[in-house]
Structure 1
């Protein structure tokens, strides 16, 4: 076949070649779908991992904080509880001290203000000419109308003790160291002189202290000085101001061992009110001496604190000091 001149390429072929070459010069790009998947596989994993790590950290941190918060709260509660307990102890202690002080002050105030209620009952008037029980000191004594008790001689220190049978503090003293006070008298360490007073009658609106002192005078005549004294305190009414009836005062005499003619004599003495004026005389001495309240003690004329009266070692030390030994 004879050679023929080359046939020119169609124009469309050149355009196609240029188009194909242009495609080859451009960077290969993933399809939109592939790009989203790749991005999801990369950044999604990182985000998921980051979120997972942070989340675990948050949980651990939150747990640690919660434990610390609970521990702190427990410590705070324990400290608060301890403070409440300490405050309660202080309050209870303060209330106890105030109660004791108030009781002492209350008795003193009652003694000073007793005349305000003098019209509440029929008061038996003092009369120095009235009889006194056997062995009781007379109106001319330094301890007028006092009940001397014990075996001590004249050179022994004198312990005088003002009491009111209705006085709760006197009852407490008797319970605390009545035995010790009687012991120093019975062993001759000191001369004990009981100084009875009925000042509480006017304040409580009764005559129980006066009648109890009068009954004690009747018991002294029968030889039951200490026994009846102690028994009256042992039978002190629970409610201050209730006092004792005459029948109860006679019953106390039976309790300490009186019977037969002795009990009859005692009962007649009580019914006749033989020593109620003696009680009034002793009470007037209480007022005249300006005693603040009961119980009130002195050793050789010098006041002794009630807490020393209530404590036997302290009482013995005070008596020893009074003798100069």
Structure 2
């Protein structure tokens, strides 16, 4: 006759086993988290390399503008509309509302170029960096997306900043908001460029040159082939006629 034997479990050994299993599980979780952070860092660094490491944008024209044009690469359009603007400037916002669509349409003419030059003009020392931050973000987006000469994404970002323009003299949009607008315009990988103010020094120098120009009276400053025009006082039809005539 076989006797049933009861197995006696040492509670201390059971506790030790549970403790060991818990430690192993915790270690696995920590390894997984560390691996995830490592992958995120690699991806983030890869995305943030889209503007490169240079403090000078490679996509700017000789005078530091962002050119929107359908002109073949390497050619010089007959009509160049230059627009000097500040992203916190209310008059610039009004100008974009009035003539932005007209300029976008004119830029489709291969004999026309629209040169946008964001400057740092309306910042108040020690109070706001609105102009500086938005101008830099603009260059970040242009550098990340326009190396093939196509500034469509940059123009979307440009328009978003004016559509969502905040009060002059205020703090302006945050770095996170600028990044979100960039993504809305179809551009990623500019977070580091925006946060580090990558093109800040270059923009300060460019802005200083404009402010010293005898022809500069404020923003927006619009010129057609170098000659100042009252584009704000023109109707869209008048502006179209003036530019297309210069492009012939």
Shorter-chain TM-score: which interval?
Answer: 0.5 to 0.7
- Residue 189 of structure 1, CA deviation: 4.2
**CA contact under 8 A between 1:308 and 1:314: conserved in structure 2?**
no
Unaligned runs of 5+ in 1: 1-129
| Coordinate RMSD, CA, aligned | 2.0
Q: TM-score, normalised by structure 1?
A: 0.52
Residues in 2 aligned to 1:235 and 1:155: alpha-carbon distance in whole angstroms: 32
> Alignment length, in residue pairs?
183
SS at match of 2:180: helix
- Residue 204 of structure 1, CA deviation: 8.9
Residues in 2 aligned to 1:147 and 1:318: alpha-carbon distance in whole angstroms: 21
Q: TM-score, normalised by structure 2?
A: 0.68
Larger radius of gyration: 1
Residues in 2 aligned to 1:251 and 1:283: alpha-carbon distance in whole angstroms: 26
Within the candidate set 277, 298, 303, 2:223 is matched to 298
Within the candidate set 211, 222, 226, 2:155 is matched to 226
Within the candidate set 241, 252, 258, 2:169 is matched to 241
Residue 166 of structure 1 corresponds to which residue in structure 2?
88
Unaligned runs of 5+ in 2: 1-53, 146-152
Within the candidate set 60, 84, 104, 1:136 is matched to 60
SS at match of 1:281: helix
Within the candidate set 91, 116, 120, 1:198 is matched to 120
Map residues 81-230 of structure 1 onto 2, 5 A cutoff: 131-137=55-61, 141=62, 144-152=63-71, 153-202=75-124, 205-223=127-145, 224-230=153-159
Instruction: Point out which structure has higher relative CO (alpha carbons under 8 A, 6+ apart).
Output: 2
Residues in 2 aligned to 1:272 and 1:307: alpha-carbon distance in whole angstroms: 35
Residues in 2 aligned to 1:281 and 1:191: alpha-carbon distance in whole angstroms: 24
Per-residue Cα deviation, 1:67-115 (whole angstroms, up to 9, x for no partner): xxxxxxxxxxxxxxxxxxxxxxxxxxxxxxxxxxxxxxxxxxxxxxxxx
**CA contact under 8 A between 2:78 and 2:246: conserved in structure 1?**
no
- Residue 212 of structure 1, CA deviation: 0.6
- Residue 285 of structure 1, CA deviation: 1.7
Residue 317 of structure 1 corresponds to which residue in structure 2?
241
**CA contact under 8 A between 2:86 and 2:119: conserved in structure 1?**
yes
Within the candidate set 180, 185, 189, 1:256 is matched to 185
CA, structure 1 residues 189+162, in 2 after alignment: closer, same or farther (shift >3 Å)?
same
